[in-house]
Chains A and B, each alone.
Chain A
Amino acid sequence: MVKYILKRIGASLFTLIIILSVVFILLRQMPIEGYFDNFDKLDQAVIDARLHQMGLKAPILQQMLRFFTGLLHGDLGISARYSVGAPIADIIAQKAPLSIQMGVLSMALAIALGIPLGGAMARSKSKFWDRFGTAFIVFVNAIPAAVYYIYIQSYGSNALGISMLFDRSRAISWVLPVFSMSLGNIAYYAMWLRRYMLDELNKDYVQLARAKGVASRNITMGHVFRNAFVPMIQYIPTSLLYTVGGSIYIESLYSIPGMGGLLVDVISRQDNPMVQAIVMIYSCVGIVGMLLGDILMVFLDPRITFAKKEGVR
């Protein structure tokens, strides 16, 4: 198992390097205006000198080498427009904790609401909870998140009697952003748990347990749920990605001073180095999520041996 995990980490690292390189090369194709805060007023000579100083005139491979060396020292570059001259690592270090707190809270909320909903749906097939849950899942999946986020913000803040914008010190203003961020994942967990539980319910061991006279509550909780929950672990990375996507929206909608809002901000200001840094961070989050999901699976379900499965696939 250790060997498998090491191998998996190695593969992730390799993926990460490829992705970072691709992002790096792609963003080099951007117009150079994005490296200056007052491009129009500058002389061609000054521009050249500054580009040279930033190392953007060097061959791409040399630039990349310098970038990766900087990355290993925790240096993400310097902001060009958003906060001129400030190290990006510092800006992000300020913003990241809030985003992480929100992301964790919304994931926790999604699990706390989505799992019971999925369970209730599986147990009451085609009764109230199943219908309610299905309608909810269709709603969340079919309607673009942007639309219902806007309505939740507007009507929610009206109902709670609070400002539409986020205020970190007031606990109540955390409610709407965290709830909106978790909606997609609630639907996702509920949908898959329901499907897995229904699959399990038709298996022989459940029939046997029922024939033995085990109470149906014990069957669902003790047997079906435990088995159905294992494949759910695999969705944690995906839901992490959902949270990332949602946070970009929600943070800018509620003016939350986090990383997602920052990304929208630097895109509109065309700050190339900052876009590069944040895009790279989000890609890392994705890769780490996938890795975590796979490793968790190995720990939780001893029947799974990935090393073998990969060969067979």
Chain B
Amino acid sequence: MRLFDHKNRRAEDAVTDAVRNLGVPESELFEFANSDPDLAEKTGFSQYSYWGSTLSVFLKNRGAVALLLVLVILVAFTFIQPLLPGQYEATRIINHPITGMQMSNVQPSLSSVVRTAPAGTKLAITPWENEEWAAVSNVVTTIRARSEFSVTGYLGEWVEASFNGQTGYVRNDFTTNLKLPDNPEKVPYSSRANFPVQLFLSPEDLTYQGDELFIKKDALEIGKDGITAELATEAELRILPTEAPFLFGTNIAGQDLWSMVWSGTRTSLFIGFVVALAEAAVGIFVGVVWGYIRRLDRIMTEIYNVINNIPTTIVLILVAYILRPGISSLIFAMSITGWVGMARFIRNQIVIIRDRDYNLASRCLGTGTFRIITRNLLPYLVSVIMLRMALAVPGAIGSEVFITYIGLGLPVSIPSLGNLITVGRKLVSTSQSYQLIFPTIVLSIVTVSFYIIGNAFADSADPRNHL
């Protein structure tokens, strides 16, 4: 003690000496600080705003922002697409105007132009009533199966032939399988095919799988007979009398895959959003009741244990099996399984924060239960609720694909991503694999975006990441 006193006194003396040595009177060393309301405000007020910080942290995540942009554009496009000019209706079966056959499995293409024919190309016109378009091909006539015709010249893949006084060219490949002699170049001789073959005006195929192509009437110079024509200039031969292309091709029923994909994305996203909302609504309600009302905790926990023990896949299958397939029953089946996880999580969080001091204080001041829940408790859980909702959307889309796959999904008359993928699945190793690839690309973009955005948002909504 004495030692300490001694040291203290020595320090005081040192300070007094130092001040004296400065040569300033002691009264001028300090001045009174007057109370300044502005300064007081400065420390009392914080610039921090929860949502502002959440947004700024989220915007720093470039990848997530880019995906959000992609997703917004994509969702908007599913609504804009039917309004664009030159779109086919999603469920419309497109027929060939002349033959009435379905335009099935047309390969994807950026325009409806099949061929560009040079000036001078001779074409045959099929009579067809239309103001703007003419149905043309370069087919003179069709030779019936097993009919004899004489070959007058051999060109390899084509032969010159005459039939019933008409001359032209016949294709000579595995599709026609012409009967030719040992030395096919020694003409003329007679030949025949096991299938109907077409006699073309020139050694090229200006048809769509044997059917007529379409051309603008003003590009044609129609001959005197009315059934033959010659091209004055270079002209485009189109698959259908329209400029609208099959961007994603068509399916086997002759429906435009491009509009099917967007319509399907709309359906799937709708299902996803409704399921996410239902999950959030039921999950939050049950979770709050479960967590806040102590007496219910025990029985609710028991019920939870029972429900949680059933594989969700099985519940999904069972409900979808019992209900009739349709959008509403699908949504119901998915919502019935999804809310459990959300409710459990909300309950755990509420149990943790319900008895914190600020809530006790709030309750002592007479705040109503509803206000405590909505103002004091739920704002803490926003990030988690948003995350779960964001993940519920791809989850619901995946479930829809699964349910459709096992044969309990939407009827084919309502296009959905699940429908399209289930149909495309069987074509994966054929030339029609585009019918699987396009829906899966769109689906993957949607689900991956939701997943990454949801996680990025949850990270940025966590106050620990706010600096």
Genuine A/B complex: yes
Contact B321 A249 (CB under 8 A): no
Instruction: Please report the C-alpha to C-alpha distance between residue A78 and residue B405 in the assembled complex, in whole angstroms.
Output: 26
Beyond the given pairs A144-B443, A154-B428, 10 more chain A to chain B contacts, judged by CB atoms under 8 angstroms and listed by A's residue number, are: A30-B322, A138-B451, A142-B394, A143-B443, A151-B440, A241-B313, A244-B314, A263-B317, A267-B321, A282-B311
Residues of B contacting A144 in the complex (Cβ-Cβ under 8 angstroms): 394, 397-398, 401-402, 443, 447
Bound complex: CA of A12 vs CA of B305, how far in Å?
A: 9
Min Cβ gap B384→A in Å is 16
24 residue pairs A–B, Cβ–Cβ below 8 Å: A11-B305, A19-B310, A27-B318, A30-B322, A142-B394, A142-B447, A142-B448, A142-B452, A143-B448, A144-B401, A145-B402, A146-B398, A146-B421, A151-B440, A154-B429, A244-B313, A248-B313, A248-B406, A263-B406, A267-B321, A282-B314, A283-B310, A286-B311, A287-B309
Q: Which of A116-163 contact B (CB under 8 A)?
A: 138-139, 141-147, 150-151, 153-154, 158
Cβ-neighbour of A151 out of B398, B402, B428, B443 (below 8 A): B428
Which residues from A are CB-within-8-Å of B310? 19, 283, 286
In the assembled complex, B407 has its CB within 8 A of some CB on chain A: yes
Q: Does A101 contact B (CB under 8 A)?
A: no
Q: Is the beta-carbon distance between B311 and A241 smaller than 8 angstroms?
A: yes
* Complex interface: chain A residues within 8 A of B308 (CB): 290
From residue B254, how far is it (CB to closest CB) to chain A in Å?
24
* A74 interfacial contact with B, CB 8 Å: no
Q: Do A264 and B313 touch (CB < 8 A)?
A: no
Closest partner residue, chain A, to B417 (CB atom): A144
Are A147 and B440 in contact, CB atoms less than 8 angstroms apart?
Answer: yes
Instruction: Give the contacts of B302-343 with A (CB-CB under 8 A).
Output: 305-306, 308-314, 317-318, 321-322
Most A CB contacts (10 A, CB to CB) among B306, B309, B313, B444 go to: B309
Contact of B322 among A26, A245, A268, A285 (CB under 8 A): A26
| Cβ A158 vs Cβ B317 within 8 A | no
Q: A-side binding surface: helix, strand, loop or mixed?
A: helix
B residues within 8 A CB of A12? 309
Identify whether the interface residues of B are mostly helix, strand, loop, or mixed.
Answer: helix
Is the beta-carbon distance between B402 and A286 smaller than 8 angstroms?
no
Q: Which B residues are CB-close (under 8 A) to A263?
A: 317, 406
Q: A206 within 8 Å of B by Cβ?
A: no
The answer to whether the Cβ of A23 comes within 8 Å of any Cβ in the partner chain is yes
Question: Interface residues, chain A, CB within 8 Å of chain B?
Answer: 11-12, 15, 18-19, 23, 26-27, 29-30, 138-139, 141-147, 150-151, 153-154, 158, 164, 241, 244-245, 248-249, 252, 263-264, 267-268, 275, 279, 282-283, 285-287, 290, 313
Q: Give bound CA distance, A15 to B311, whole Å.
A: 13
Q: Please give, as numbers and ranges, the residues of chain B lying within 8 Å of A248 by CB-CB distance.
A: 313, 317, 406
List residues of B whose CB falls within 8 A of some A CB: 301, 305-306, 308-314, 317-318, 321-322, 394, 397-398, 401-402, 405-408, 421, 425, 428-429, 436, 440, 443-444, 447-448, 450-452
List of B residues within 8 angstroms of A147 by Cβ: 401, 421, 440, 443-444
Contacting residue for B428 out of A150, A279, A286, CB 8 A: A150
CB of B452 within 8 A of CB of A26, answer no
| Chain B residues, Cβ within 8 Å of A241 | 311-313
Complexed CA–CA distance, A141 and B447 (Å): 9
Cβ of B174 to closest chain A Cβ, rounded Å: 25
A148 to chain B: closest CB distance in Å?
Answer: 9
Task: Report which of B397, B421, B428, B452 forms a contact with A138, defined as CB distance below 8 A.
Answer: B452
Does A244 contact B429, Cβ atoms closer than 8 Å?
A: no
Residue of A nearest to B439 (CB): A147
**Min distance, Cβ B411 to any Cβ of chain A, angstroms:** 14
Rounded to whole angstroms, the CA-CA distance of A221 and B305 in the bound complex is 35
B347 CB to closest chain A CB (Å) equals 10
Contact of A279 with B318 at beta-carbon distance under 8 Å, contacts A150-B425, A286-B309 already known: yes
Whole-angstrom CA separation of A70 from B260 in the bound complex = 49
B321 touches A18 (CB 8 A): no
